[in-house]
Each structure stands twice: as structure tokens, then as C-alpha cells.
């Protein structure tokens, strides 16, 4: 692992108090580490972390690469997870929207208003 990658991982783990098992998962996904770096500490709930680390990585793994091309705005991702957390959106619908975030995210509320 490159020193820069390790330092970014360490910073993100400390900033968001990430569990060891999630740290191991993150260590293999620099694009997600980069995204987590941009997430403000105050707005990052454990639920958002879980979705970012588990759900997003699961979707990215099924797409076989393209991680470096990823352009997901952390605020779009937080908006999505907040809608799930407040039960305004089901997990299934949120996963469908998350897949549409790739390669570039969008404001979820605007997307839902158009539907």
C-alpha cells in the first residue's frame, strides 16, 4: 500500500471513527476513501458510513472496476442515505438510485420529483 494511500486511510478512519472490519474493506478502495475524506464529520452518521463502505463497494465490485472514474458527490450520497434513514425511501429503491449514481451522482430530491 502506498504511503499516501495509507495516510489517507488512517485520516479517514480517525475522522469518522470507522470500525476495524470496515477499515480493512476500505483499504482496497481508494475512490471510496477519497469520497469519505470530503464528508464533513458532523454530517456523517454511522448509517451513511455503513452504506458508503458496504453498499457502495458492493455495487462497485459488481461493476468490475471504474473506481477511478467515480464521481459521487458526498452530499448526494448523504441525501440518499438520509432518505433511507428517515424511511422516506426504501432500501431497495435507494440501491437502485445508488446504481444510477455511477459514474456521476445527482441530487436525489430533484430526481425523485421528476419521477
> Which CA distances in Å does 49 have to 19, 22, 46, 67?
10, 9, 5, 18
Alpha-carbon dihedral sign for residues 8, 22, 58, 92 = negative
Q: How many domains does one find in the chain?
A: 1
The domain of 18 spans: 3-114
Alpha-carbon dihedral sign for residues 113, 70, 13, 92 = positive
pLDDT above 80 for 24: yes
What pLDDT shows up at residue 18? 86
User: Model confidence over 40-49: pLDDT tens digits?
Assistant: 765 657 788 7
pTM more than 0.85: no
Helical axes 30-38 vs 3-16, angle rounded to 10°? 50
HSE-CB for 12 with a 13 A CA cutoff: 28
Amino acid at each position: 500500500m502506498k504511503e499516501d494511500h495509507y495516510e489517507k486511510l488512517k485520516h479517514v478512519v480517525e475522522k469518522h471513527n470507522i470500525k476495524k472490519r470496515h477499515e480493512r474493506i476500505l483499504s482496497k478502495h481508494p475512490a471510496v476513501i477519497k469520497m469519505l475524506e470530503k464528508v464533513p464529520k458532523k454530517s456523517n452518521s454511522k448509517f451513511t458510513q455503513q452504506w458508503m463502505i458496504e453498499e457502495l463497494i458492493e455495487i462497485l465490485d459488481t461493476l468490475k472496476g471504474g473506481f477511478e472514474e467515480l464521481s459521487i458527490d458526498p452530499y448526494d450520497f448523504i441525501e440518499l442515505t438520509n432518505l433511507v434513514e428517515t424511511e422516506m425511501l426504501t432500501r431497495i429503491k435507494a440501491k437502485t438510485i445508488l446504481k444510477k449514481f455511477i459514474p456521476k451522482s445527482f441530487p436525489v430530491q430533484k430526481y425523485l420529483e421528476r419521477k
